[in-house]
């Protein structure tokens, strides 16, 4: 495993993070024993960055990680936690709350579910349009001073918000979608974070399984509502994935490994956060670290999936409209 510093103000972390969301049902049913085994296998492989959200399975994901941490020394991992998304008992998304009081309440529950004394990186999952970002970051900064949080991150916000947040407290990373299929950050957001010394923890590097050939797993799979998995879009994107697979095989890689290696090759300040909920998925993904892509390799991969070629938005239009990271496109 290779290790990098997360932003100019952040901790040393593995150059590869484990996204734990899928262990709590977002991609259909999951197996608790296999999830725990995967978490332990990740740590054994040298992964230190574990990413979760307090709304993944309504606390289930945090409790699962907390169970795994009983057998893992606390200083072996960095816990990255998103908060603020509001959900109803039917698992519907009903808003976002990043008021200072809500920040501190959410953190208290998170610490209890995980069974830890502090969170390494705490971040609002989205921008709350009714709360100045300065107030939200200020509340987290209070928790840094109190010792309950070590570092502050952001998620899915645009350049203006990043600058405003960084003026309140050092930001170590921006968590945002980035892959061969989703390259929107390259125009404006990526230059901004690099100017400010902020890393990117990139999720969706396999485009929610599109690039690995993963199929929608029924009604419990949130991808059933994703534009890229529907109708003609699904067929067009499958053709792109097939082109990637052909290029990857010619270089001794799987499509998944090629997609991960491409993201990792974009800079040491970009950490792929790969969602694996089974050990064999984790093992395949980790092998991407063994490949060093040449400029020719990168160009060939980008020719297989040209920038902007993906059919359909990365989220449904209603969700995209609420993403601060997407607002720059409307200007």
Pair type for strands 85-87 and 93-96 = antiparallel
Find all residues with CB under 8 Å of 35, minimum gap 6, and list them: 20, 23, 64, 277
Structure tokens at 143: 């928790």
Element housing 298 (H / E): helix 295-304
Considering 56, 148, 178, 315, which one is annotated as catalytic?
56
The DSSP line for 160-206 is HHHHHHHTTS-EEEEEEE-SSS--GGGTTHHHHHHHHT-EEEEE-TT
CA nearest 154: which of 71, 82, 76? 82
Compute φ and ψ for 288, nearest 5 degrees.
-60, -25
Structure tokens at 118: 């502090």
CB atoms near residue 299 (< 10 Å)? 11
What is the residue whose two structure tokens read 């993201």?
A: 263
Active site residue 56: yes
Catalytic residues: 56
């Amino acid at each position: 495993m290779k290790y990098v510093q997360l932003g100019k103000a952040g901790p040393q972390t593995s150059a590869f993070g484990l996204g734990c969301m899928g262990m709590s049902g977002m991609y259909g049913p999951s197996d608790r024993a296999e999830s725990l085994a995967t978490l332990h296998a990740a740590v054994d492989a040298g992964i230190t960055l574990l990413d979760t959200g307090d709304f993944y399975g309504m606390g289930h994901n945090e409790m699962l990680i907390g169970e795994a941490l009983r057998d893992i020394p606390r200083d072996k991992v960095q816990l990255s936690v998103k908060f603020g998304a509001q959900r109803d008992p039917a698992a519907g998304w009903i808003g976002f709350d990043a008021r200072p009081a809500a920040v501190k309440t959410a953190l208290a529950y998170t610490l209890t579910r995980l069974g830890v004394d502090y969170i390494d990186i705490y971040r609002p999952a989205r921008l709350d349009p009714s709360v100045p970002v300065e107030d939200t970051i200020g509340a987290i900064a209070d928790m840094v001073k109190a010792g309950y949080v070590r570092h502050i991150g952001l998620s899915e916000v645009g350049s203006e918000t990043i600058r405003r947040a960084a003026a309140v407290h050092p930001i170590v990373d921006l968590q945002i979608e980035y892959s061969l299929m989703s390259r929107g950050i390259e125009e404006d957001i990526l230059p901004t974070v690099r100017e400010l010394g902020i890393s990117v923890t990139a999720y969706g590097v396999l485009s929610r399984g599109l690039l690995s050939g993963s199929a929608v797993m029924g009604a419990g799979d949130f991808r059933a509502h994703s534009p890229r998995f529907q109708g003609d879009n699904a067929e067009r994107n499958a053709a792109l994935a097939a082109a990637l697979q052909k290029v990857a095989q010619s270089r001794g890689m799987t499509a998944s490994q090629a997609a991960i290696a491409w993201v990792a090759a974009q800079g040491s300040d970009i950490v792929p956060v790969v969602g694996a909920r089974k050990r064999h998925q984790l093992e395949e993904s980790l092998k991407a670290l063994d490949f060093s892509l040449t400029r020719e390799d990168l160009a060939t991969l980008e020719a297989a999936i040209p920038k902007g070629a993906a059919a359909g938005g990365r989220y449904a239009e209603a969700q995209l409209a609420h993403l601060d990271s997407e607002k720059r496109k409307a200007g």
